[in-house]
Amino acid sequence: MKKTLSAKLMTLVVMLLAQASAFADNEKYFPEVHADGSVTFTIMAPDAKKVEVWGDFAEIKLEKLDMQKDEKGLWSVTSKPLAPEMYSYRFTVDGVETLGRDNAYRVRDGARYKDMVIVSHEKGDKGWLYGVHQVKHGNVSKVWYDSPTLQRTRRMTVYTPAAYDGKRRFPVLYLLHGFGGDENAWSELGRATQILDNLIAEGKAEPMIVVMPNGNPTCDAAPGEWGAGMYQPDGNAFVNNKPRATMEESFMDIVNFVDAHYKTIRKREGRAVTGLSMGGGHTLNISLLYPTTFDYYGLMSAAPKLDNQFVTKGYAEYIHSDKTFGERVARLQASKPRLFWIGIGKEDWLLQTNNDLRHYFDEKGFPYEYYENDGGHLWRNWRIYLTLFAQKIFKP
């Protein structure tokens, strides 16, 4: 019997799938996003007694949804309608945390992976900004550079906008991760590539290069991506080893490399720096160390002092009494940066520390922009802050 071409192809498909086992058995396993923003989560577990899905569906903490089993053993639950957002979740099957079998979209946060799903209601909303659309895309590179200060060869992530052609010069945003993160954090968890692609395509942000370095000066790169091999990430790399210099002290190695290897605007008005948590602390220190190198600064849920006394208590006393700090703030103020931006959530555990910093700036008459929103010390907020900050910088 002569098979049709499509029947033959189907035979091949079946054979290949049997070989590879790489594809989904059933489309329904994938989280299904409904028109109202509710999401149906499903997982096959015929023998399980209790299945839940935990996700960051609430503003501040993880939320648990109990799932129901059907006669085939497929557990499912549909969430309430969710606002536009990128959500992450994990299943718990009889107490064991597990990822869905067939969600191809997954992100690493430190040592842990989470499944992710994006809810978007309309073009331009947060979910849309974090998605991949039919727009011109920038390139993303993992780039090794020499750091003379740290005496290491280290890795950074570099986004070049779609318009980057090796001729025209572009401004550079230096985008810093937090404690336990690495040079992959902003491009993966942070959706920085998508946010920039979409904002630039919409004409809301200027085309810019975005440099996402590794902020742990005792590491060369993300776990498993450098000579230390495939170790268990524990976030303590920079605590347990004394680096040759701090992130901030070695920061000009990064700027110099980028200026030497990319078509950049090599002036203050072509440079911005922002970071989250520990990276917000790095940003503050960078503003104080190199007051005329950057014109735009962004502190996102910043941990403004990184050595000692940097939890809430004692920070106000420190900044009011430390002579060097005062002199450096005065020097930064005199240099008149175009933007000093501070963003933090009402439930962030670093809110008081940031308030202390703002009050100090107020006393000194140092101008800054302040943005406060709901929520805590979470990626959800850092993506919002990147979206806002990116629209404020490099405007003609």
Largest CA distance in the chain: 90
- Of 2 and 395, CB closest to its own copies: 2
What is the full DSSP assignment across 146-182? EETTTTEEEEEEEEE-TT--SSS-B-EEEEE--TT--
Encoding tokens for residue 131?
């998605």
- Of 162 and 316, CB closest to its own copies: 162
- Of 35 and 104, CB closest to its own copies: 104
Are 75 and 51 a contacting pair, CB within 8 Å?
yes
- Of 16 and 58, CB closest to its own copies: 16
Collect all residues with Cβ–Cβ distance below 8 Å to 58 and sequence separation of at least 6. none
The beta-carbon contacts of 327-331 under 8 Å, at least 24 apart in sequence, are: 328/288, 328/289, 328/291, 329/288, 329/360, 329/361, 329/364, 329/366, 330/364, 331/288, 331/291
| Torsion (CA) 174, 177, 182, 186 in degrees, nearest 10 | -70
Nearest distance in Å: CB 84, its own copies:
14
- Of 250 and 277, CB closest to its own copies: 277
- Of 231 and 327, CB closest to its own copies: 231
Encoding tokens for residue 34?
């409904």
What is the C-alpha to C-alpha distance for residues 338 and 100, in angstroms, rounded to an integer? 46
Nearest distance in Å: CB 369, its own copies:
25
Nearest distance in Å: CB 271, its own copies:
22
Nearest distance in Å: CB 95, its own copies:
5
Nearest distance in Å: CB 204, its own copies:
19
- Of 8 and 267, CB closest to its own copies: 8
Encoding tokens for residue 154?
């280290």
Nearest distance in Å: CB 149, its own copies:
19
- Of 291 and 345, CB closest to its own copies: 345
| Residue 324: count of CB within 10 angstroms of its CB | 8
Nearest distance in Å: CB 176, its own copies:
16
Which of helix, strand or coil describes residue 1?
A: coil
Nearest distance in Å: CB 113, its own copies:
6
b/e burial code for range 254-268 (CB count within 10 A of at least 16 → b): bbebbbeebebbeeb
Q: Is 124 left (phi over 0), alpha (psi -120 to 50) or beta?
A: left
3-state helix, strand, coil in the chain (%, to 5): 30, 25, 45
